[in-house]
C-alpha cells in the first residue's frame, strides 16, 4: 500500500517570499506523483505531476517540484509567492498501473501582504 | 463544456435519513471516483468505478452505496446518514486507456453535507 505524509499542516509566508511545501511518500512499488491545489470553496485542480523522465517538473504558474527517489520525497517550491497562491495544497501518489490516488493530509498556504 | 458537476452543492439532513449526492461528467471518462474531505485526513476514497456497472470499494466505503448505470453519472447514496458522515464530498473522473494510469483526475466543485 502507498501512503503520503505532508509534513506541515499550515505554512504562512509573506508575499514575494519563497516557499517549500514538503511531501514524503511510502511505497514498495513504483509510483506516479502529483500535486493538487484547492482554492477556497472550489474543487481540486492538478498543479503538476511526475510520471517519468526529468525529476524536476514545473507548473504554468511558477511552482516546481522535484522527485527524489532516494529520499522518497516530492517537495513543492515557488521562489516568490503571490496573494493569489493562497490555497490548500495536496500531494498524492498513484501506483503505476492503478487508478486510485492516495492523498496526503494537505498543507494550507497562507500568504500575508 | 460543463465538465464535471455535482448536486446539490450544499445539503443539510438529519440522522437516519437517506440522501443521494449526484455526479455528472460530460467527457465520457471511463473512471469515476467519490472522495470525502475531512480536516486532518485530506481526501479519502469512498468508492470508484472503472466503467458502467463496474464499481469497487475504496478506503472508507461503510455506510455508502454507489451505482453506475450510465457512464456519465455516478450517484453516491448514504442509506442512513450519521453525524460522522458530515463532510465535503468530491466526485472525480479520469480517462484511461488499456490500463494506463498516467491520466489526470478531474474534480467536481464538491458537495458540503451536514448531518444533524
What are the E-state strand segments in chain A? 3-6, 10-14, 19-21, 23-26, 31-38, 44-50, 56-58, 64-68, 73-78, 87-95, 102-103, 107-112
A96 grid coordinates: 503505476
B109 contacts A43? CB cut-off 8 A: yes
Provide the CATH topology of domain A3-112: Immunoglobulin-like (2.60.40)
Instruction: Report domain extents, chain A.
Output: 3-112
Whichever domain contains B62, its CATH number is 2.60.40.10
CB contact, 8 Å: B105 with chain A? Answer: yes
> pLDDT per residue over B37-63, tens digit each?
998 888 999 999 999 999 999 999 999
* pLDDT exceeds 70 at position B100: no
Q: How many domains are contained in chain B?
A: 1
Per-residue pLDDT of chain A (113 residues; tens, 9 = 90+): 889 999 999 999 999 999 999 999 999 888 999 999 999 888 899 999 998 888 899 998 899 999 999 999 999 999 999 999 999 999 999 988 788 899 999 999 999 98
Chain B from 45 to 104: CB within 8 A of any A CB: 45, 48, 50, 58, 90, 92, 94, 96, 99, 101-104
Chain A residues close to B96, C-beta within 8 Å: 99
Nearest to A5 by CA among A99, A103, A110: A103
CB contact, 8 Å: B109 with chain A? Answer: yes
- The range of the structural domain enclosing residue B82 comes to 17-96
In a domain, B40, yes or no: yes
In a domain, B46, yes or no: yes
Amino acid at each position: 500500500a502507498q501512503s503520503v505524509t505532508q509534513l506541515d499542516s499550515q505554512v504562512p509566508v509573506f508575499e514575494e517570499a519563497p516557499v517549500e511545501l514538503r511531501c514524503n511518500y511510502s511505497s514498495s512499488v513504483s509510483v506516479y506523483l502529483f500535486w493538487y491545489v484547492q482554492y477556497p470553496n472550489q474543487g481540486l485542480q492538478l498543479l503538476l505531476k511526475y510520471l517519468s523522465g526529468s525529476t524536476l517538473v514545473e507548473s504554468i504558474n511558477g511552482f516546481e517540484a522535484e522527485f527524489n527517489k532516494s529520499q522518497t520525497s516530492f517537495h513543492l517550491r515557488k521562489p516568490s509567492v503571490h496573494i493569489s497562491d493562497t490555497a490548500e495544497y495536496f500531494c498524492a501518489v498513484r501506483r503505476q498501473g492503478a487508478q486510485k490516488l492516495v492523498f496526503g493530509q494537505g498543507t494550507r498556504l497562507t500568504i500575508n501582504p | 463544456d460543463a465538465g464535471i458537476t455535482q448536486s446539490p452543492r450544499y445539503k443539510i439532513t438529519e440522522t437516519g435519513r437517506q440522501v443521494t449526492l449526484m455526479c455528472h461528467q460530460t467527457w465520457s471518462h471511463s473512471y469515476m471516483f467519490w472522495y470525502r474531505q475531512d480536516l486532518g485526513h485530506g481526501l479519502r476514497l469512498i468508492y470508484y468505478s472503472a466503467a458502467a456497472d463496474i464499481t469497487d470499494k475504496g478506503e472508507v466505503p461503510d455506510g455508502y452505496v454507489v451505482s453506475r448505470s450510465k457512464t456519465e453519472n455516478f450517484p453516491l447514496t448514504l442509506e442512513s446518514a450519521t453525524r460522522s458522515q458530515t463532510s465535503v464530498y468530491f466526485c472525480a473522473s479520469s480517462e484511461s486507456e488499456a490500463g494506463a494510469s498516467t491520466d489526470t483526475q478531474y474534480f467536481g466543485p464538491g458537495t458540503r453535507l451536514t448531518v444533524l
